[in-house]
A and B are shown apart, each in its own frame.
Chain A
Amino acid sequence: MTSHNLKPQPVGLVIEHLIKSFGGNVRAIDDVSLTIEPGEMVSLLGPSGCGKTTTLNCIAGLEHPDSGVIRAGDFVMTDTTSKLNLRPEQRGLGMVFQSYALWPHMTVNDNIAFSLRLRQTPAPEIKRRVADILELVGLGQFGSRYPFQLSGGQQQRVALARAVITEPRLLLLDEPLSNLDAKVREQARVWLRGIQQRIGITTVYVTHDQAEALAMSDKIAVMSHGQLVQYAAPTEVYENPATRFVAEFIGATSFLPGTLLGRTGDWARVYVSELGELRVRADRGPQNALRDWVSNARVTVAIRSERVEVVRDGAPHENTFDVRVSQSAYEGSRWLHIVEMKIGTLRLETLDAASDSHLRIHLPADSLFLVPEHD
């Protein structure tokens, strides 16, 4: 069996109170703490400027944090209290860059062998390991090509091979799929996750694409304005967003402002003008939405577009309303409808074109949750 089947024991990643500011008072990373279990793949997800790439660069040693601790297992890479900050080359990590950063003057083989040569690995071993890794990423025949002779998808595979050839402590991925075509990207997603699980390497994956994060990660760390706003498994992040920001950023969510009528156990009743009375789950969603449980408190009800149901029969049900669709868009696999109301916009999806602009919709109580007006 080839060497990559001899899995080294993976180590986890611990980040404690990481702070990094650029000039002035703007904190690119504002006290982020994060623990990644050995072998896990964690996505840092957020809009541009949220600090995810800066965090990744701090892990890599490419940026110097103002304070905080970063360690891989017992191997401390950054500890500002003891002025320890290993340089990138001392950390023994692997990284795939957004542009792949393949060195254009070197062949695929030379690109991959570079780190091994620096480590003074004997030539026959380099040859064997490079061949093995090329086989693993499915590019066995491409070793003597130059990067510009490869497609984007192939370059991305070489970049991954180069990053993992040294059996690094951690694998860092900086939006590695963002330069691929939509079609290739979806295949690459599955492929990349497969490789990661096969090698069993602890992986930090930076992306602004929620679909990628949901599909590929063991856990998602959602970041906003330099802060970690939620760190949980993909289903948890989707079903039970910790803040209004998370609910807005992940998935297509409609927000309907209303007035709290009362609460019984896990359920609350909310009045939304233009619709009527709604029964809503009160045990899900951002905790701060539930802080003030006085009647007549202003609350916002959130619902995912795909959870809105269209009701065919005319019988009255709980949470069922008549609405008028103001706009529809065909998206191939489904139709997207927009219901414009004075209080806000409600989005919903159907598989077929709506025969009529008047629809009867059902907002399942189980899919509704409360969020605060602002985070």
Chain B
Amino acid sequence: MAVIPRPNSTGDSLRRVSRVGDQLVQWGIAIVVVGLVLFPTWPIVYQSFLSQPLYESGQALTLSNYPRVLTNPAIWRVIGNTVILMVGSTLLGSVVGIVFAVLLTRTDVPGRRMFAWLITIPYYVSALILAFTWSAMYGPQGFITVWVRNLGLPVWDLYSLGGMIVVSALYFMPFTYLYCSSSLHLADPQLENAARIGGARPLRTLLTITIPLIRPAMMYSFILTLVSGIELLSIPLVLGAQSRIDVLSTYLYRTAVISGTTDYGTLAVVAILVVGFVTVLVWLQNYFIQQERRFVSVGGKVARAQLLSLGRFRWPAAIGLGLFVLLVILIPLAGIVLRAFTSFLSPLVNPFTLLTLDNFSQAFEFQTYRLAIVNSLIVATVGGLAATIFMALCALLAYRSAFPFRAVVKYLALYPRAFPGTVIGLGFLWALLSFPAVGWLRNTLWILVIAYTMRYLPLGFSAISPSILQISDELDRAARVGGASWRDTIRHILFPLLRPVLISTYILLFVTFLKEYSVALFLFARGSQVIGTTMIEVWAQGETGAVAALAVVQMIIIGVVMGLSRLVPKVKLRE
């Protein structure tokens, strides 16, 4: 047997460039994360201590902005409205969501599967479209309102804080429902069975065992909803426009964008108040995530939970659910679809005599509308893809690298959770004003993609990281020992293994980017408008037909993408 000397020992035949390359890539990702987070936040913090707008000369550092804002009664009225809207819609949405979760997962109410699907519709339709649908149906001149008024009955006022609370609650309800019902699915049925064997009757079991079991999920979604309540721009913007009811988000938008104020100091302080508020809530949310981990016992379960029999209340319950879904979800939705296909919509005229495709031909022929649709699609497809890859790299840097500052990267990637879209929009706007070198970005879609990526970095990061943590790190260690650099390992091992979650994150970001408008309201210019900003503009001009057509287009795109996403094969990660 021949014994040959080792030919140019193995390590040396490996490419030697990898050390520099890996570090370059890792530092590159980290620097982009830092830049992305600091770019819009720094101008706001800085501005809150400036006497003049930050792009003007002759500014001086001052502390006077804070006391001036905090002693302004108008601001306090806005804060008061915000708290009422936030707490009211959260309470209403949570109660309805929890009732639905329990009814649809733990009782024998007929049509459970259908209802479970129907009541998540508001989750897929954007809040903006929800506001339009309600306004079109239940607004002062809305179809149903007019119909009821013509019957001589008293009518409601949707353009009030109460109206905002109802519509916002409807938008938040699916979140609570989804969290609580999945928690109910995960809860160990043996815990309930133990109570039953101990002598508890079904209803008692439900109240003393089942519902307390999902308490962490309830608290978590409760706080999530509170955060969304502060952030929410569209519903108060659409419903509060006539009655001039301002909440913090609409105050920021109207003051910064519509009125063109120069009182930047006040805006900055209000923005910082909002961020501080959300930060506290996000901190609470993290606390409840940890609670939930302690509570819910996840594992393969053979036993199916016993359903609580409603007895003779089965059908009344189903009818109640049906009426609810019909009134608050289906009728508004049908209304906007019908509006899109008619020249006019009124209870006094048979809508089927007014059928037309004019609204759609307008949407596709008018340069403004068509460009909005095209821009939205570009931002969602190209921007969504770029954001997905970038967020995956961030998560891999945070969880699968020896990068010395990976903990900082993780923290920064999750930090934008504390920033509502309006604050991010304002921050990017001011950043573009104060850094003339990047001012050219202002009229491009790039700034939208960058700002969306910053806003949804926590969303994508937290969507991808659980899957990364599920992949045994021996798989990348094996690649490294086998001669692969960090980049090789990502390219050949981790990205292919993460493909299912990368695809689902891309779909999530596509839909999110397509619906996003609040950041864009601050940043778009002629030529870079998107569907959301155009709907708001056109709605303000009273062109409800065009708004309805654009809304239908957006819903169809989302529906098609969601439908396609079901076709994506689920690749098993392990075994």
Contacts and interface: CB of A to CB of B under 8 A. Distances in A.
Interface of A: 5-9, 11, 60-62, 75, 86-95, 97-99, 101-105, 114-115, 118-119, 148, 162-163, 166-169, 172
The 4 A-B residue pairs with the shortest CB-CB distance, nearest first, are A92-B10, A92-B11, A101-B474, A88-B480
**Highest count of chain A CB atoms <10 Å: which of B2, B475, B575:** B475
B4 A169 contact: no
Contact of B488 (A60, A118, A148): A118
Interface stretch (B106-114, B124-132, B491-499): B491-499
A169 B11 contact: yes
B483 interface: yes
A333 B476 CA distance: 43
A172 B574 CA distance: 24
A87 B480 contact: yes
A97 B478 contact: yes
A105 B571 CA distance: 9
B420 to A, nearest CB: 38
A54 to B, nearest CB: 13
Contacts of B14: 89-90, 92, 118-119
B482 interface: yes
B474 A98 contact: yes
Nearest to A88: B480
B433 interface: no
Nearest to A162: B482
B19 interface: yes
B400 to A, nearest CB: 13
Nearest to B493: A103
Nearest to A115: B482
A288 to B, nearest CB: 39
A97 B488 contact: no
Given A88-B481, A93-B481, A118-B482, 4 more contacts: A6-B4, A102-B478, A103-B478, A104-B573
B13 interface: yes
B3 interface: yes
B484 A9 contact: no
B474 to A, nearest CB: 4
B479 interface: yes
Contact of B477 (A7, A62, A118): A62
B19 A101 contact: no
Interface string B5-23: 1110111111000110000
B472 interface: yes
A337 to B, nearest CB: 42
A7 B3 contact: yes
A94 B477 CA distance: 11
Contact of B10 (A9, A62, A168): A168
A92 B8 CA distance: 11
B475 A60 contact: no
**Highest count of chain B CB atoms <10 Å: which of A6, A102, A104, A162:** A104
A64 to B, nearest CB: 8
Contact of B483 (A60, A62, A119): A119
Given A101-B472, A103-B497, A105-B496, A166 B483 contact: yes
**Highest count of chain A CB atoms <10 Å: which of B6, B496, B573, B575:** B6
Contact of B478 (A9, A61, A101): A101
